[in-house]
């Protein structure tokens, strides 16, 4: 487990390093960055590897543990899934070198769009051929949408961890360490 703050002073130092006094401005900027056209859907909102079950006999995927499930932006849910590849839910120390590559993100979003198309019905062969260009455009759009929500996702889970630290303390999980890492990654991505 990650090093826990050992004194009130170290907790205060860690909180000060988060620079949360600008939270209202950060939230406003994030809100303004979300396009009005961003789709809202029922989302899992915590799609980490432990919440995805795969049936090896047929390849079927099942999501479990919907305690955070609800209406949200589709891009947030996908960004959350990508960010969860970094881990950190065991020790508070996400490894951002482990997030999916561009090719892995493309494969995931392509599979997501294919599943949506299957659920909507295949259409005629002519519609499918014409739809290939539209599919490529939809894939680019979905990847861009997920990228926009990466910042939102880091900020959300960073603030969540601060609240959890205040509510539960540090005995169960190093919430402030996790908050520091998520908000730190938010700032790193924002600076790019």
The pLDDT score that the predictor gives to residue 9 is 53
End-to-end CA distance of the chain: 30
On whether the pTM is more than 0.85, the answer is: no
**Shortest CA distance to 151 belongs to which of 39, 75, 100?**
75
Distance from C-alpha of 178 to C-alpha of 84, rounded to nearest angstrom: 12
The pLDDT score that the predictor gives to residue 71 is 97
The pLDDT score that the predictor gives to residue 118 is 83
Q: Give all domains of the chain, ordered by start, each with its CATH number.
A: 8-191 (3.90.1200.10)
- Taking only the tens of pLDDT, the chain with its 192 residues reads 445 454 545 667 777 777 788 888 888 999 998 988 899 999 999 988 899 999 999 988 899 999 999 999 999 999 999 999 999 988 999 999 999 999 999 999 999 898 888 888 765 444 555 567 788 889 999 999 999 999 999 999 999 999 998 888 878 899 999 999 999 999 999 998
The 10s digit of each residue's pLDDT in 140-150 is 999 999 999 99
Let me know how long the chain is. Answer: 192
**Shortest CA distance to 111 belongs to which of 66, 156, 73, 61?**
61
In the chain the beta strands, taken as DSSP E runs, fall at 40-43, 52-54, 61-63, 70-73
């Amino acid at each position: 487990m990650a090093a826990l703050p050992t004194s009130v002073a170290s907790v205060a130092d860690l909180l000060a390093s988060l620079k949360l006094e600008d939270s209202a401005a950060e939230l406003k900027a994030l809100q303004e960055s979300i396009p009005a056209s961003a789709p809202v859907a029922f989302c899992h909102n915590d799609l980490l590897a432990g919440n995805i079950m795969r049936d090896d006999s047929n390849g079927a995927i099942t999501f479990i543990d919907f305690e955070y499930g609800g209406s949200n932006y589709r891009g947030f849910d996908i960004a959350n899934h990508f960010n969860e590849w970094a881990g950190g839910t065991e020790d508070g120390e996400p490894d951002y070198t482990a997030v999916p590559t561009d090719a892995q993100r493309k494969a995931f979003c392509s599979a997501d769009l294919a599943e949506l198309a299957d659920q909507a019905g295949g259409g005629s062969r002519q519609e499918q051929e014409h739809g290939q260009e539209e599919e490529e455009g939809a894939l680019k759009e979905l990847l861009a949408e997920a990228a926009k929500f990466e910042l939102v996702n880091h900020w959300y889970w960073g603030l969540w961890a601060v609240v959890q630290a205040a509510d539960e303390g540090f005995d169960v999980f190093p919430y402030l360490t996790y908050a520091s890492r998520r908000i730190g990654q938010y700032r790193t991505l924002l600076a790019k």
